A and B are shown apart, each in its own frame.
Chain A
Amino acid sequence: MIRYSVEEEYKGMISAYEKAGGDKSVLESKDIAKLVVHENKVLANDSIKGLKIDTEETENGVRVNFTVEKGTKVPRPVHLCFGLLPKEGLQEIIMKVDAQDDSEVSVVAHCIFPNAVKVIHKMDADINIGNNAKFDYKETHYHGEDGGIEVIPKAKVNVGKGGVWQSTFSLSQGLVGRLDYDVEVFCQEKAVAELVVKVYGRGSDDIKILEKIHLDGRGARGMAKSRLVLSDKARAEVRGETYGNAPYARGHVDCMELVNGTEAVARAIPIVEVTDDTAKVTHEAAIGSIDRKQLETLMARGLDENEAVDVIVKGILKS
């Protein structure tokens, strides 16, 4: 395998990040907390007061301890950037997050694999959100057009009393490859969990999504939302599960999958279960095709059919 020098790698990552629509000045600014990892090498790591990012390079990746100290309100989003520039390789990120009581942070993660032909990206996260802490996590993937990539994100999240966990996972640039997304959240008293997944599958993409929320504390609230669009021979299975186990828990599962063409296959499996008679969990699941009239509206303005599909898909995955 060709090894890049650290400097080359950093340049490569920044340019890939820019190409993917990222703002390069963010990665160059010292005032913004960030972590940039290429393969198993940490290329940049800037912490700020009240926020610690400790890393350890392992054989195939990096171990990250991400700590937001008690009461710290991080003013600007923290940027994480994980990637692999060569065509082949394995990257394993083992992440431990400790957002202590009353802290507040927003994290923007970019996962960049522009050249992947045979790449595996694994993320194992163990996340603890303290009492009344608020954590907003947005992860966006940028893949190439080969589709030779496996993405396997797994996370267990515990949200303390009155805490808030919000996550959005987006994969709509480049081919997905194989995705096995698995997130499980446990909500304590009055805790809130909002999970959103947005994926555009094409080619022979193979997508599995599992969003699981346990509403274990009194008055806990959960929302598991997914938006998928599938074209070509892509297939997807989305499971949204919510368990209302405590008094006055409220949950909602919302899966929407749109299929474009006749060969893509979508499955949605919402599971809702309530073990307390004052808890309430609802679900809606819809699988449909792209609306003919929406398409024709855009085509009547001069767009080709596939340009019109793109506009509609972007809209669906945006909201």
Chain B
Amino acid sequence: MLVVENLQLKLNGNSIINGLDLHVGKGEIHGILGENGTGKTTLANLIMGTNSYRPTGGRIIFEGEDIAGLSVSERAKKGITLAWQEPARVEGLTVKDYLSLSAKNGGADQIERYLLMVGMEPKQYMDRDIDATLSGGERKRIEMASVLAMRPKLAILDEPDSGIDIVALPLLLNGIMEMNRQGSSVLLITHSEKVTEIAHRVSVLCAGKIINSGAPLETNQWFKNNCLTCPHINEPAH
């Protein structure tokens, strides 16, 4: 479904992504584990085409087609979407309207269900604006709900767990698994090996490169043993 080959990105002379290879299969939840500053958000931006990021080398192939030159809208229309680590606030746009426009390709009647899936009471939130009055965690959950509503082929989730409390986290993880059962592949980006327990496969990111990849149990453990104590953050791979 998604093949990333020898991806490179230089920003202001710094190599942020350094020959990254990644393969996300159809129907797969693929976890990306990485410490702060290893390039997780940058990778998400490159795949979605956001933040005006264009690779300085390598290829991004989605369903057999190189998408690296396409606009954000074009990629979304092919079925890719992104839930931001820090989602934007939009003054005057209600939760209901945001979810309905996400669900444009069917399922508009189900938007209440998507809110329930992330543990939010529709009555309480449907008419709220997604502006600064929502708490950080509420905004993140709505972001998740809008991705669920879109029923994408590939959902890139950038730290869906950050800012989410321990009561809501299991709900959110359930939501991700449910979305996956309904046919979405997921690129699950996080720095928590608890979250990647729901993945089918996990890759470890360090200094803009995948340095290990495998089954969740072993890879999560490997990450704990090697990365949590690693002093070389942002240095070339070891």
Q: What is the interface of chain A, defined by CB distance below 8 A to chain B?
A: 291-294, 296-305, 308, 311-312, 314-319
Contacts and interface: CB of A to CB of B under 8 A. Distances in A.
19 contacts: A292-B51, A292-B52, A296-B72, A297-B84, A297-B88, A298-B101, A300-B75, A300-B76, A300-B80, A301-B101, A301-B104, A302-B102, A304-B73, A311-B90, A311-B97, A312-B90, A312-B93, A318-B92, A319-B129
B46 interface: no
B77 interface: yes
B141 to A, nearest CB: 15
B212 interface: no
Main secondary structure, interface of A, reads helix
B8 interface: no
Contacts of A299: 71-73, 76
Interface residues of B, number: 30
Interface in B36-58: 48, 50-52
A303 B48 contact: no
Interface in B67-112: 71-73, 75-77, 80-82, 84, 87-93, 97, 101-102, 104-105
Contacts of B71: 299, 305
Nearest to A298: B101
Contacts of B129: 315, 319
B180 interface: no
Contacts of B75: 300
B146 interface: yes
Given A311-B93, A316-B92, A302 B73 contact: yes
Given A296-B50, A316-B92, A301 B150 contact: yes
Nearest to A306: B73
Interface of B: 48, 50-52, 71-73, 75-77, 80-82, 84, 87-93, 97, 101-102, 104-105, 129, 131, 146, 150
Contacts of B131: 319
B67 to A, nearest CB: 13
A240 to B, nearest CB: 19
A318 B150 CA distance: 25
A297 B84 CA distance: 8
A303 B48 CA distance: 14
Given A300-B82, A302-B105, A315 B91 contact: yes
Contacts of B51: 292-293, 296
Contact of B101 (A292, A293, A303, A318): A303
**Most B CB within 10 A of own CB, among A298, A300, A311:** A300
Listed residue (A301, A311, A315, A318) with the most chain B CB atoms within 10 angstroms of its CB: A301
A294 B87 CA distance: 9
A292 B89 CA distance: 12
Contacts of A300: 48, 50, 72, 75-76, 80-82
Contact of B91 (A292, A296, A301, A319): A319
A307 to B, nearest CB: 8
Contacts of B72: 296, 299-300
Given A293-B84, A308-B73, 11 more contacts: A293-B88, A294-B88, A297-B87, A299-B76, A302-B73, A302-B102, A302-B105, A303-B73, A311-B97, A311-B101, A314-B92
Nearest to B75: A300
Between A296, A302, A318, the greatest number of chain B beta carbons within 10 A of the residue's beta carbon is seen for A302
Residue among A299, A303, A305 facing the most chain B CB atoms (10 A cut-off): A299
Instruction: With a 10 A CB-CB cut-off, give which of B72, B82, B88, B101 has the most chain A CB atoms.
Output: B72
A315 B102 contact: no
Contacts of B97: 311
B132 to A, nearest CB: 11
Given A291-B88, A297-B87, A302 B93 contact: no
Nearest to B76: A302
Nearest to B156: A300
A241 B81 CA distance: 45
Contacts of A297: 84, 87-88, 90
A172 to B, nearest CB: 12
B93 A315 contact: yes
A303 B52 CA distance: 17
Contacts of A315: 90-93, 129
Contacts of B90: 294, 297-298, 311-312, 315
A297 B146 CA distance: 10
**A-B pairs, 7 with minimum CB distance:** A315-B92, A318-B92, A299-B72, A319-B92, A293-B88, A302-B76, A301-B102
